[in-house]
Structure 1
Amino acid sequence: MTAPVRLANVRRTYGHGAAEVTALAGITVDFAAGSFTAVMGPSGSGKSTLLHCAAGLDEPTSGSVTLVGKSLTGLGETELTLLRRARVAFVFQAFNLMPALTVWENVTLPTVLSGRRPDSQWVTRIIDQVGLSGRIRHRPSELSGGQQQRVAVARALASRADVTFADEPTGALDSQTAIEVLRLMREMTRYQQTIVMVTHDPVAASYADEVLFLVDGQIVSRLTAPTVEGVAGRLARLGESAKVNR
């Protein structure tokens, strides 16, 4: 069975000549169906670039990306948009909520745009589990930053996409809500939803099946069945190694 997300020798550079910066230095990795993977590493290690290339939001300089069975090489922006709309969900640090829409309308928007009818019972359950059942008629301007992030998470999970890409999805949440959101993301894998999450938080990473550690655009380590202590220890060792190699 082909993995829903596959990167093969993906390189991404920015700039030219002496100013060239390598963000990804030949990444090869598969993200299996129903898996929950955390991506970690120091600032500038290539975490967000990996996420953007995997999602078709950024084009690799070389190498190939396959998303839900379709090669992204050569696809136009319209084709990419239609593919993402139908099969992919996002939770980024910028909430990207529609200011004129209510919580309910924002959460169901991707489903409506893909031409499907929202499952009201499922949407209600998701909104309740992120703690916003009393806010479904509120607009983003009437919500706190943490509440807006919860709407963004609910929107991604309610769409039942094949793949969800999340960039620091719990960064704006209090600890209890963050745990509830992570548990919900963990539950989504039961439905064969694939989740790829960039995070700096060992607690968040501990909810994943596996953690990939990036340094200088390369996967330098993996940790399966992660614990908070195990993730923190691995990060500390990578940090010490980076200091020694400077």
Structure 2
Amino acid sequence: MTTDLAPPTPPTESGESTPGPSGFAAAGAVDATKVYGVGDAEVRALDGVTVSFETGKFTAIMGPSGSGKSTLLHCLAGLDVLTSGATFVGDTYLATLDDKALTELRRTKVGFVFQAYNLIPTLTAEENIMLPMMLGGESGDAEWIDNVITTVGLKDRIHHRPSELSGGQQQRVAVARALASRPQIIFADEPTGNLDSTTGAEILDFMRRAVREFGQTIVMVTHDPVAASYADRAIFVADGKLDGELLDPTSEQILERMIQIGN
């Protein structure tokens, strides 16, 4: 499955990637393959995946356990390296970057939300939100950050440490941290996996609002059809390959599609 969104022009011999036609995807993969192990132990977690993700949209990646969905997300985000093929963010192919440049891209252009929150226990909620910018010696846009903090409902908890916050509040901090620097794209890996259904729905609703009201781009891995129904688009992965997509999906449509994949 491909889309009509253009990837950047392939790198030249000098290793540089140049912008291509209008209609860039926010991120994507071209013939992405990831192999673990060798010989009889070889596992093809990704097997020639080509996909792109539209700017200003909320996309869910779904598939059975072991399908390759999290591997795809991690390779798109530069947290893992492909065996062959390419991934890109904006007009940059990740393979053209050295470690320093890749770290800089992840800090400035990519936001992350994980199931485990990944907050620093000794820092306050505000300090955790500001941490990526602080590491780069930046203070960010104060008005925007205040808007994000207010929108996620943390105004009265901003000076509390993670141990003083509920699971839902900690995940709100993680989402606010991902939004604070206005990244080009946010990657979320099972962001509501540790939350009860009510709190999870609140987080998902905020993520959807971030896309529709703030123009954010979010790509989320989830196993939950209800969570995926908050997205503008759901793509399905099975055995390391893409296996169709749904636009403006309902939870019932997603569940039916997952049952088909399982059979």
Q: TM-score, normalised by structure 1?
A: 0.91
For 2:48, the aligned partner's letter is G
- Partner of residue 237, structure 1: 260
- Partner of residue 228, structure 1: 251
What CA RMSD, in Å, does the superposition of the two structures yield over aligned residues?
A: 1.6
- Match status 1:172 vs 2:194: yes
- Partner of residue 235, structure 2: 212
- Match status 1:196 vs 2:213: no
Gaps of 5+ in 1: 242-246
Segment of structure 1 superposing worse, 111-120 or 97-106: 111-120
Distance in 2 (CA, whole Å) between partners of 1:133 and 1:177 is: 17
Shift of 1:45: 0.3
1:186 to 208, 233, 243: 208
The CA deviation string for residues 45-103 of structure 1, in whole angstroms up to 9 with x for no partner, is 00110001001111100001111211111422211100111110000123221222100
- Match status 1:63 vs 2:101: no
Aligned to 2:234, the other structure's residue is in SS state strand
Distance in 1 (CA, whole Å) between partners of 2:198 and 2:148 is: 16
Shift of 1:113: 3.0
- Match status 1:128 vs 2:154: no
Distance in 2 (CA, whole Å) between partners of 1:160 and 1:138 is: 23
- Partner of residue 244, structure 1: none
- Partner of residue 37, structure 1: 59
Aligned to 1:238, the other structure's residue is in SS state helix
Distance in 1 (CA, whole Å) between partners of 2:136 and 2:198 is: 32
Shift of 1:231: 0.9
The CA deviation string for residues 18-71 of structure 1, in whole angstroms up to 9 with x for no partner, is 111110011000111111110001000001100010011111000011112111
The CA deviation string for residues 152-200 of structure 1, in whole angstroms up to 9 with x for no partner, is 1121122211100000111222333322222221222244322100011
Say if 1:95 and 1:152, in contact at 8 Å, map to a contact too: yes
Aligned to 1:73, the other structure's residue is in SS state helix
- Partner of residue 181, structure 2: 159
Distance in 2 (CA, whole Å) between partners of 1:177 and 1:159 is: 24
Aligned to 1:219, the other structure's residue is in SS state strand
For 2:170, the aligned partner's letter is Q
Could you say if the C-alpha distance between residues 36 and 120 of structure 1 is closer, same or farther in structure 2, counting changes exceeding 3 Å?
A: same
Identity of aligned residues (%): 56
Q: TM-score, normalised by structure 2?
A: 0.85
Say if 2:133 and 2:140, in contact at 8 Å, map to a contact too: yes
Segment of structure 1 superposing worse, 100-109 or 69-78: 69-78
Say if 1:149 and 1:172, in contact at 8 Å, map to a contact too: no
- Partner of residue 129, structure 2: 107
Say if 1:129 and 1:180, in contact at 8 Å, map to a contact too: no
Runs of 4+ in 1 over 6 A off after TM superposition: none
The CA deviation string for residues 80-134 of structure 1, in whole angstroms up to 9 with x for no partner, is 1001111100001232212221001111222333443233443333333333332
- Match status 1:72 vs 2:90: no
Distance in 1 (CA, whole Å) between partners of 2:231 and 2:136 is: 28
Gaps of 5+ in 2: 1-22
Distance in 1 (CA, whole Å) between partners of 2:137 and 2:204 is: 28
